[in-house]
Amino acid sequence: MIEYSESILDLIGNTPLVRIPSGVTGCRATVLAKLETANPAGSVKDRMAKYVINAEERRGNIKRGDTIIDATSGNTGVAAAMVAAAKGYKAIFTVPTSTSDEKINLIKSFGAKVIITPCEVASDDPRCHYAIAQRLAKEHGYYWLNQFDNQLNPEAHYSSTGPEIWRQTAGRVTHLFAGVGTGGTISGTGRFLKEQNPAIKVYGVEPHGSMFKNIHENRPLQAALAHKVEGIGTDRPVAAFHSKWIDQIIQIDDAVAFQATRLLSRALGLSVGGSTGAIYAAINQFSATLDKDDVVVFFVCDGGIRYMTKVFSDEWMKQNNFEVNEEPSLNAILE
């Protein structure tokens, strides 16, 4: 019998877990990477894009000939552009200048349009990518995905990602580590897992200077600071983030995140982006407290190929004052 799928969208989800060797993690626990890079558009955002668009079609909010628009740091744009192409919709995405060229080109490869906006402006500035997407949707009647505030975002992970992890670990998962950008992945997955076992610890990871930690701890919000890690962090409260399902928010420096990103690639052959490096660095902070019976799951949010001109470029790292372990020169090798 010939085995095949009817649509590329049928391949979203059911991503594998891979164990990280204890010699790398330095802890006794079983540490498992959830490879969201196995989704057809290459990131965890595939799940949300498919789920939201399918749900809105059923509700009659998206129909033939419509255009989908959203603000994104890249991965949602790539995922939603793929879904739009597969379903015959047009798509437009507003992205800040901090977005990698690789992700911008991936979005365009699916036939979507990209509007590049300044990254140094505040979230309430009309030039912000979020504000522009919202305005264009209103002016032209586009369907606004609104990943940051759409409750279908965490619902997507409650219905798929959480059950997958529970099944794959035979209910033995004890810790979940996830990046926090919109809050959808961690909120939906964390909710499902805690409903199965309230003792499961759920940790969110963001860059230093982001607001999620203060939001989670009910502290006064301060202006967000710039960071280089893409895809996680926020400069405003977002409705897709549900703090009640999260035990702690951990902040990681860009430099630490990027060193961990490179380590995973060079030590394990696991190509990841900076957000995954930040998540892995957060796990390392807890390694001494983890027991041999603990089962830790963390997300590989996207792949390193999207950041060849950034974290995997020695030149870019040096330009941004990040440490680079120099490779020996040809002369040094020959001497």
Q: Which residues are tagged catalytic?
A: 45
Burial of residue 290, with CB atoms counted within 10 A of its CB: 0-12 exposed, 13-18 middle, 19 or more buried:
buried
Full DSSP string of 111-137: T-EEEEE-SSS-TTSTTSHHHHHHHHH
Q: How open is the CA angle 201-221-258, to the nearest 5 degrees?
A: 60
| Cβ 188 vs Cβ 155: under 8 Å | yes
Which tokens belong to 49? Answer: 């894009």
**Residue 13 one-letter amino acid:** G
- From the list 135, 242, 111, the residue with the least C-alpha distance to 183 is 242
d(CA 149, CA 100): 24
